[in-house]
Amino acid sequence: MFKIVKKRVLNPTVTQMDISAPLVAKKAEPGQFIILRVDDEGERIPLTIADYDREAGTVSIIFQVVGATTEKLNHLNEGDSLADFVGPLGNATETEGYRKVAVVGGGVGCAIALPVAKKFHECGAEVTSIVGFRNKDLVILEEEFKACSTKFVMMTDDGSYGTKGMVTNALEELIKEGEQFDLVIAIGPLIMMKFVCALTKKYGVKTVVSMNPIMIDGTGMCGGCRLTVGGKVKFACVDGPDFDGHEVDFDEAMARAAMYKPFERHAYEEACNLFAKEVK
């Protein structure tokens, strides 16, 4: 069993947990993920490693409550345990050899972007972090990003915090001002990554994206994370989750991801009804 040693609410729908998992913490690197089960009868879900502490033997996960399993997970508290916590899985983000990097995070994807930004910073790169949220109430990890960034830019769709606009607006403004990035890494909603890649392709800037949003079982067996990269079929959980953003067929990936939404919503509503009955 894997004990929850710390639980922290980041915003109304996003929660951070530190899990006691010494063997996972020993090998974990930014960009990799774990697979967990809340209980013995629960489904397996992949979550990207948000942080790790090798000495304490803990691994941090950050999740948004959007489905049945994340709803169940969010009902657990410090001292409770998970049935399974397997990893690290997937390929770590390549962070060596870069001098100037822009890390672009969108929404809960910032939880994945943060450890990557920290690793680039530790490797000696100059890190510009551009993060975007719909509004001020949804902002997470601001201070953590500032601590590992040479430059930090906050964007919100409605202008309620930071600068009004999209992350692509901030990135293009910096490029036009003369910033020359060796690499842009974008992590967030598929539509956000698509437009970041369209922008960087125009300026000829190497871009890597994390395709974790389309992963399901995390082993490649279900085929749910199948995508086309450079005209070839790849699996996000086995071949990635990082890929050359200029070669990803985002339209195909978004169409496939949309197929599962009705099923996810149904399962989420069933879980909510179950917890409501338990409260009564």
pLDDT at 271: 47
Residue 9 lies inside a defined structural domain of this protein? yes
Backbone angles phi, psi at 78, to 5 degrees: -55, 135
State how many domains the chain has: 2
Low-confidence ranges of the chain (pLDDT < 70): 213-224, 257-280
Cα-only R_g, the chain = 18
Instruction: Pick the closest to residue 139 from 1, 280, 12, 258 (CA basis).
Output: 12
User: Is residue 278 in some structural domain?
Assistant: no
Query: 220, 224, 223, 228: which is closest to 247 by C-alpha?
Result: 228
Same domain membership, residue 105 and residue 54: no
Q: Residue 248 — φ and ψ, nearest 5°?
A: -80, 135
Q: Write down the pLDDT at residue 266.
A: 45
Boundary (domain end) residue, out of 30, 58, 89: 89
242 and 118 inside one domain: yes
Domain at 117, CATH number: 3.40.50.80
Same domain? For 54 and 146 the reply is: no
Rounded to an integer, what distance in angstroms lies between the CA atom of residue 100 and that of residue 150? Answer: 10
137 part of a folded domain: yes
180 and 66 share a domain? Answer: no
In a domain, 279, yes or no: no
CATH number at residue 83: 2.40.30.10
Both 81 and 119 in a single domain? no
Contacts of 279 (CB under 8 A, 6+ apart): none
Long-range contacts of 175-178 (CB under 8 A, 24+ apart): 175/203, 175/205
Domain membership of residue 190 as a residue range: 100-258
Dihedral Cα 196, 201, 205, 207, nearest 10 deg: 50
Q: Give the separation between CA 50 and CA 32, rounded to whole angstroms.
A: 9
Domain annotation covers residue 268: no
Based on the fold, state whether residues 146 and 248 are members of the same structural domain.
yes
In a domain, 149, yes or no: yes
* Residue 201 shares a structural domain with residue 156: yes
Q: Distance (Å, rounded) from C-alpha 217 to C-alpha 60? A: 20
- Rounded to an integer, what distance in angstroms lies between the CA atom of residue 248 and that of residue 244? 7
Looking at 89, 116, 137, which one is the last position of a domain? Answer: 89
For residues 69 and 142, state if they share a domain: no
Model pLDDT, residue 218: 56
- 72 Cβ neighbours under 8 A, 6+ residues apart: 38, 39, 42, 271
* 105 and 179 assigned to the same domain: yes
The DSSP bridge partners found for residue 207 are 184
Tokens 């060596």, located at residue = 96
What is residue 254's predicted lDDT score, i.e. its pLDDT?
Answer: 83
d(CA 202, CA 73): 42
Residues 130 and 111 in one domain: yes
Q: Does one domain contain both 85 and 206?
A: no
Do 201 and 150 lie in one domain? The reply is: yes
